[in-house]
Amino acid sequence: MSDTKIKLYGFPLSGHAHRIQLALSLMGIPFDLEQVNLAKGEQRSDWFKKLNPAGKVPVLVDGDNVISDSTAILTYLAKKFDDGTWFPESAVEAADVEKWFVSASTLLAQGPAAARLINLFGAAYDKVETVQKANDYLSFLDNALEGKSYLVADRPTFADVAIYSYVAHAPEGHVSLAPYKNVTGWLARIEALDGFVPMQKTEVAAAA
């Protein structure tokens, strides 16, 4: 464990930041959460850009180590603090976790996450096309979870952590989870884990 307390820079409505908050909490790693006010453009401030020139959350600071990008941070946490529980040592399972990291950064981002951005932040995506991508992704995820409790192993891993936040909040993009029973069962299992912390919800979800 680091001699100095880890600091996580995030934003309450960021699924990327929530991934790291969730990972740290599930691992039982103490940290200080510093909120960056994205609505006021704080991510473009000089002090924040010294941490991450891209001007995006999350950023994790562990002593002299400053790590940005949520899946990169998950990899850092696994390499420094994990014993193989959250990032399997098996070559095949480790590769599977990495595949879900890629999925989180591509298909998940282009589907459920993007649909949510339209409703919460007015993102300029085609709504019909994006909602279709979101449902395609949820169908893919539902099939991947058929007969399984978790995505990679017989226990939760960082694959589940990487995918959870934006899937759980898909209704905020007016994308219903009701047709995807394997997905909703999986979400419930994640939410029942010791150390689980939720991401802030918005009233938009009630309209989904």
Residue 86 domain-assigned? Answer: no
- Same domain, residue pair 193 and 100: yes
Q: Report the pLDDT value the prediction gives residue 185, as an integer from 0 to 100.
A: 98
Do 154 and 96 share a structural domain?
yes
Query: Is residue 1's pLDDT more than 90?
Result: no
pLDDT (0 to 100) of residue 117: 96
> Residue 159 — very low, low, confident or very high, per pLDDT cuts 50/70/90?
very high
CATH code at 46?
Answer: 3.40.30.10
Q: What does the pLDDT read at residue 206?
A: 39
Rounded CA-CA distance 77/80 in Å is 5
Say how far apart CA 205 and CA 116 lie, in whole Å. Answer: 9
Please classify residue 196 by burial: count the beta carbons closer than 10 Å to its beta carbon, then call 0-12 exposed, 13-18 middle and 19+ buried: middle
Counting the structural domains of the chain, the total is: 2
CATH number at residue 195: 1.20.1050.10
- pLDDT band for 3, please (50, 70, 90 cuts): low
Is the domain of 26 the same as that of 116?
no
pLDDT at 113: 98
Residue 183, C-beta contacts closer than 8 angstroms, at least 6 positions apart: 138, 141, 142, 145, 167, 177
Pairing of strands 65-68, 6-10: unpaired
**Looking at the structure, do residues 110 and 200 belong to the same domain, yes or no?**
yes
Question: Is residue 208 scored above 60 in pLDDT?
Answer: no
Name the residue with higher pLDDT: 39 or 104: 104
For residue 37, the model assigns a pLDDT of 86
Q: Cα–chain-centroid distance for residue 42?
A: 21
Q: Are 30 and 23 in contact (CB under 8 A)?
A: no
pLDDT of residue 8: 98
- pLDDT (0 to 100) of residue 40: 87
CA distance 98 to 109: 16
Q: Are 159 and 101 in contact (CB under 8 A)?
A: yes
Its domain, for residue 59, covers 6-81
Check residue 42 and give its pLDDT. 87
pLDDT in tens, 70-112: 999 999 999 999 999 999 999 999 999 999 999 999 999 999 9
Strand pairing report for 6-10 and 31-35 = parallel
Pairing of the two strands 31-35 and 65-68: unpaired
Helix (H, G, I), strand (E, B) or coil at 158: helix
Q: Residue 4 pLDDT more than 90?
A: no
pLDDT of residue 177: 98
Buried b (16+ CB within 10 A) or exposed e, 72-92: ebbbbbbeebbeebbbbeeee
Peptide bond into 12 cis (omega under 30): no
Task: Give 157's pLDDT tier (boundaries 50, 70, 90).
Answer: very high
**Same domain for 68 and 133:** no
The reply to whether 95 and 74 lie within a common domain is no
pLDDT of 17-38, one tens digit each?
999 999 999 999 999 999 998 8
pLDDT digits (tens, 9 = 90+) for 115-149: 999 999 899 999 999 999 999 999 999 999 999 99
